[in-house]
Amino acid sequence: MARAILCVLDSFGIGGAPDAASFGDEGANTFGHIAAACARGEADREGLRCGVLHVPNMARLGLAHAGRLASGEAPEGFDLSIAPEGIWGAASETSRGKDTPSGHWEIAGVPVAFDWGYFPDEVPTFPDELVSKVIEAGAIPGILGNCHASGTTIIAELGEEHLRTGKPICYTSADSVFQIAAHETHFGLERLYRLCETVRELVDPYRIGRVIARPFIGENAETFERTANRRDYSVLPPEPTLLDRVVAAGHRTLTVGKIADIFAHQGIGEVLKAAGNDALFDRTLEALDMAGHGDLVFANFIDFDSLYGHRRDVAGYAAGLEAFDRRLPELLERLEPDDLLILTADHGCDPTWRGTDHTRERVPVIGVAPGRGEVPIGIRDTFADIGETVARHLGVAPGGHGAPFL
């Protein structure tokens, strides 16, 4: 029974991108720098973790070998004399951005050849004309924020004013994004979603990739907490993706986490949502149990990026990787002989790097191929090779970019 399982460890780059300098990221290496910090005792945190980075299951598949291949440097704390037992290699991104949609679309066989629009890092951030249209079309009394910000920080700063005034909190980041935070009950979750749908249309002329609904709960700055009801409103991919081709072939796509939102719900079958990597892992196992011959399970593990990468939390990122690795045998044990499993990433977010933005890096491509042991695949020229490999495995039509490595 041939199935494919594609897991994106969101932001888990492994350095070495050939064009990193043009993004200001030359030397960034999410995996390498986390491993180094752990080996030196700089990522120890009482009650959380200590010592070298311990991810034996991903290491067995070839993670450390992929890291050395991508960056030219062996990750500290790993024994590279032990041969990998799975698919292992790295991939370079050809899309012109280092954002979430670009990375995921390219993984699914469609690199992004155009430039996204971005809002300037100044206050106010959004053009007056756009703000006026948002207020009028959204029937809101005004907006708060209007700046570049961390989501958790700006909610703590402006959440109480939001409750008093009814004005949603609008902000952006280094990504091509317009984010709207509002209280689930006082403002209303469905009202927030409707507002985001309105703003999605209004930002199209600015070439903005995503509008993101960021609902939260709580009654004051000390108790505000974002919920799992986030929703992303993305533009459509410019071409049919791997997901579209799987559906066109009469098979199912089972997506976990924010995958459906990233692809604007195109080529999407079952949608399994959850909050936190552990719950997302549970849902991935659930999706695999539901999947039949020819089906694709496509999961995103968001915490690496949102909780640890952007917040520059090295110890948290290391602990998150170790927690994921501890659960990996549960997934491996559920694989059938003809299943293909690939673990990869969509970009980097080096927690040791300056700023809080994503980092331009190569990504790991590790996993399990049907009936085969070690499969070195080298450095792939595009993430699209991943999608084309899955397409060949599932027997669906090839796309126009990339080449399969199996």
Q: What is the dihedral of CA 117, 122, 123, 129, to 10 degrees?
A: -30
> In 4-117, where does DSSP find H-type helix?
30-39, 56-61, 63-71, 100-107
29-55 pLDDT per residue, tens: 999 999 999 999 999 999 999 999 999
Calculate mean pLDDT across residues 369-391: 95
Cβ atoms of 196 and 181 closer than 8 Å? no
* Measured distance CA(174)–CA(24) in Å, rounded: 13
Arithmetic mean of pLDDT over the chain: 95
Q: Is 153 exposed, middle or buried (0-12, 13-18, 19+ CB in 10 A)?
A: exposed
pTM of the model: 0.89
Calculate mean pLDDT across residues 1-18: 96
Calculate mean pLDDT across residues 104-132: 93
Task: List 231's β-bridge partners, or say none.
Answer: 213
Cβ atoms of 238 and 245 closer than 8 Å? no
